[in-house]
Chain A
């Protein structure tokens, strides 16, 4: 379902080992296309930086973590076939 940010996700997966090694566990990375732009302490700070730097272009914010714990929703997000 997350096709729109596929390029940014690929960048994240490629750069994650380095980001973790640099001690950024728990912080939030700002990614634009194939590049890591910056790392921030909070989601909101990274989001605002994304608007400031990239305006109306697509960008991605992602938590830097070795293991992403899934969140729970009480409703399905995709239709059942």
Chain B
């Protein structure tokens, strides 16, 4: 099992990811002779508290990917009994570190505006992706490992 290792920073466990159109959408674009948008590279925080992976709406806009679903979500700022409806998108995600990459052809990611443009972090990797990996948090060594 290939392992990616990194240091625990002030942002926690951070990994570079590429977000692209889903494999299904890519095949359709090719079939219709349309250009496939280039993947977008961002730094993502690994978050075991998030049930889904999050990206900013701008990323989905750059990919030209429409939402396919809405889901009801509670967040730290929603009031009890008043969840918000979020758009969910079908995208591809590639986790990358050095020469190691792991490609996930279909990830159902949520659009989240709560990232500042000056932040290093522009995404969260949630349990939907982590369910396909092994994640080790080595607190004493201030390092993490993620295995594909």
Chain A residues engaging chain B, CB cutoff 8 angstroms: 1-2, 4-5, 9, 43-44, 47-48, 50-51, 55-56, 58-62, 68-80
Contact = CB atoms under 8 A, between A and B. Distances in A.
Chain A binding surface SS class: loop
B52 interface: yes
A26 B90 CA distance: 21
Contacts, number: 116
Interface residues of B, number: 38
Nearest to A6: B70
Chain B binding surface SS class: mixed
Interface stretch (B81-89, B93-101, B130-138, B139-147): B81-89
Nearest to A51: B24
Interface of B: 24-25, 28-29, 32, 34, 47, 49-52, 54, 66-77, 83-87, 90, 106, 108, 110-114, 124
